[in-house]
Amino acid sequence: MKAAVYYETGAPDVFRYEDVPDPTVGATDILISVEAVSIEGGDTLNRLGGAMNARPHIVGYQCAGVVVALGDEVSGFAVGDRAVTVGVDGSHAALRSVPESFAWKIPDTLATDEAACVPVPFATASDCLFEFGHLVAAETALIHAGAGGVGIAAIQLAKRAGARVFATASSDDRLERLRAFGLDEGINYRDKDFVAEARRLTDGRGIDVIVDSVGGATLQSSIKALAYRGRCVSVGDAGRAPAEHLDISTMRGNNQSFSGYFLGAELALYPRAHALVATLLEDIARGELQVVIDRAFPLAEAAGAHAYIESRQAFGRVVLIP
């Protein structure tokens, strides 16, 4: 099969488009012919300097396509079904094999490329807001990197839950576009200190739930922006800054909470997370939530797609088409 691979981590130009062996299919696995690859933030970070399970390495968490083969113990899929899949790696390829517990049938009314963009960002956003952030109606939620996949999903979910929704982004234009998805208060982090602005917009109270996918120094500032009994959920390091030692000395007196979140662990350990993704797919198929695809690149142009994401021009998801 064809795949976008690399032999060492680094800038986007490490990608090579090559023939590699087809993946094997275990007893509990499904094999899909990939029709769309959603490039996740973790994909770019892994390509930049993450672990490589093989050389050449095929990066990628998430993709969707048509089932072409099944393991003997698979019971939930049939050849010909459309499926969206999640895994540690292997999405940037023409074929992908995963356990059926990391795959979901695509609803009939949902396009395959849109389905490819659902499990990681939407389930991550939902769990950060509700399972770990305990967001309820009339509270405030601040979503960092609002124009990204997790950001756009979180804005919609928080608004649907009745929250007052804040988000950060790198331009006023991006923030204005986010209003169509439920954004109430936008903060351009290039022009304004988001902590001061969040407190100004809440009359000094601060934010109830903050979803921080940026990390680094931003994470410390997120803690400073919390309201009394506020909850901060750390979900990534998109800012690519080194991890910092956090000062949490103010949290105890304000009865605040801090959580880390990783969807992969939830999918591996709790059936609840698998059911959550299935529900979100149905919600999107019904039009209750929206997937935003900025643009599509051929799989052979994976380097260009990753470079485009890292230029911070994308609004929503960037997909690859084998």
**Is 176 domain-assigned?**
yes
State what percent of residues in the chain have pLDDT above 90.
96
**Is 44 domain-assigned?**
yes
| 61: three-class secondary structure by DSSP | coil
- Within the chain, what is the greatest distance between any pair of CA atoms? 60
pLDDT digits (tens, 9 = 90+) for 96-121: 999 999 999 999 999 999 999 999 99
Asked if 242 and 300 sit in the same domain, the reply is no
Q: Looking at residue 284, what is its pLDDT?
A: 98
Average pLDDT estimate for 141-155: 97
The total of structural domains in the chain comes to 2
Dihedral, 179, 185, 189, 190 alpha carbons, nearest 10:
70
| CATH code of the domain in which 17 resides | 3.90.180.10
Which of 263, 282, 303 terminates a domain? The answer is: 263
Q: Looking at residue 128, what is its pLDDT?
A: 98
Asked if 78 and 146 sit in the same domain, the reply is no
Asked if 160 and 86 sit in the same domain, the reply is no
Token pair for 48: 């930049």
Asked if 75 and 165 sit in the same domain, the reply is no
**Is 271 domain-assigned?**
no
| 188: three-class secondary structure by DSSP | strand
Question: pTM for the whole thing?
Answer: 0.96
Asked if 44 and 147 sit in the same domain, the reply is no
Token pair for 231: 């909850």
**Is 67 domain-assigned?**
yes
Answer yes or no: is pLDDT of 222 > 80.
yes
pLDDT digits (tens, 9 = 90+) for 277-312: 999 999 999 999 999 999 999 999 999 999 999 998
User: What is d(CA 114, CA 98) in angstroms, rounded to the nearest whole number?
Assistant: 19
Asked if 103 and 49 sit in the same domain, the reply is yes
Answer yes or no: is pLDDT of 238 > 90.
no
Average pLDDT estimate for 147-172: 97
**Terminal-to-terminal C-alpha distance of the chain:** 10
Token pair for 31: 């094999």
**Is 285 domain-assigned?**
no
Average pLDDT estimate for 26-47: 96
pLDDT band at 256 (very low <50, low <70, confident <90, very high): very high
Which of 263, 281, 313 terminates a domain? The answer is: 263
Asked if 135 and 213 sit in the same domain, the reply is yes
Answer yes or no: is pLDDT of 241 > 90.
no
Asked if 239 and 312 sit in the same domain, the reply is no
**Is 270 domain-assigned?**
no
Q: Looking at residue 244, what is its pLDDT?
A: 74
| CATH code of the domain in which 247 resides | 3.40.50.720
Which of 247, 263, 279 terminates a domain? The answer is: 263
pLDDT band at 240 (very low <50, low <70, confident <90, very high): low
**Is 284 domain-assigned?**
no
pLDDT digits (tens, 9 = 90+) for 50-102: 999 899 999 999 999 999 999 999 999 999 999 999 999 999 999 999 999 99
pLDDT band at 237 (very low <50, low <70, confident <90, very high): confident
Average pLDDT estimate for 250-255: 97
Asked if 155 and 245 sit in the same domain, the reply is yes
Asked if 6 and 42 sit in the same domain, the reply is yes
Provide the domain limits for residue 81.
Answer: 2-117+291-321
pLDDT digits (tens, 9 = 90+) for 187-219: 999 999 999 999 999 999 999 999 999 999 999
Q: Looking at residue 243, what is its pLDDT?
A: 67
User: What is d(CA 14, CA 214) in angstroms, rounded to the nearest whole number?
Assistant: 24
Strand 29-38 with 317-321, pairing: antiparallel
Mean pLDDT over the full length of the chain: 96
Asked if 313 and 200 sit in the same domain, the reply is no
Dihedral, 50, 99, 19, 47 alpha carbons, nearest 10:
-10
**Is 316 domain-assigned?**
yes
Asked if 234 and 313 sit in the same domain, the reply is no
